[in-house]
Amino acid sequence: MEQAVAFMIGTSAVMLGLSLFIHWQDWSGWLRMLRAQGRPAALMMGYLHLIIGTFIVGFHWNWQGWSLLVTLIGVKAIAEGVVYALCPKAMLAMLAWCEPRHYTLLRATGLFTVAVGAIILRSWLQGV
C-alpha cells in the first residue's frame, strides 16, 4: 500500500505543479474566489486536508530515504487541516498572497511541486 500511496502523491504532485506553472492565472483566480468565500470555504478546505493527510499517513508511515517526503506531505496536510478547521481565518490570511502580481511565486511553487513529485516517483520506481 505504501507504494500505491507514493505513486498517487508523486503523480498528483507532478501534474499539479505543471498546472500551477502553466495555468497560474486560473489558479490565482480560483484562490481569490476561495478567499472571497470566507470562513465556510476554509472549513471545507480544512476537512479536505484532514482526509487526504490521514489517508497518506495511515497508509504510508515511512521515515527513511526519499519516501520520507510522502509521509511529510501527509503530516503537513493534517497540520493544515487542523489549523484551517479550528482557525479558519488563518487560511484566509494565507491566501492574501494569491494576487495576479505574485505570479512568479505561484509559478515557482509549481516548479518546486514538480521537483518534489519527480523525486517521489523516482523513489517509487526504485521501490517497485
pTM (predicted TM-score):
0.87
Asked if pLDDT for residue 112 goes beyond 80, the answer is yes
| Average pLDDT of the residues in 103-113 | 91
Contact (Cβ atoms closer than 8 angstroms) between residue 18 and residue 53:
no
How far from each other are the two terminal CA atoms of the chain, in whole angstroms? Answer: 12
The whole-chain average pLDDT of the chain stands at 91
| Alpha-carbon span 122 to 7, nearest angstrom | 9
Model pLDDT, residue 128: 58
Asked if pLDDT for residue 71 goes beyond 90, the answer is yes
| Alpha-carbon span 107 to 124, nearest angstrom | 25
pLDDT in tens, 33-68: 999 999 999 999 999 999 999 999 999 988 888 889
pLDDT in tens, 80-104: 999 999 999 998 888 877 666 778 8
Residue 120 CA, chain-centre distance (Å), reads: 14
| Average pLDDT of the residues in 7-20 | 96
**Angle, helices 2-22/103-127, rounded to nearest 10 degrees:** 150
DSSP state of 77: H
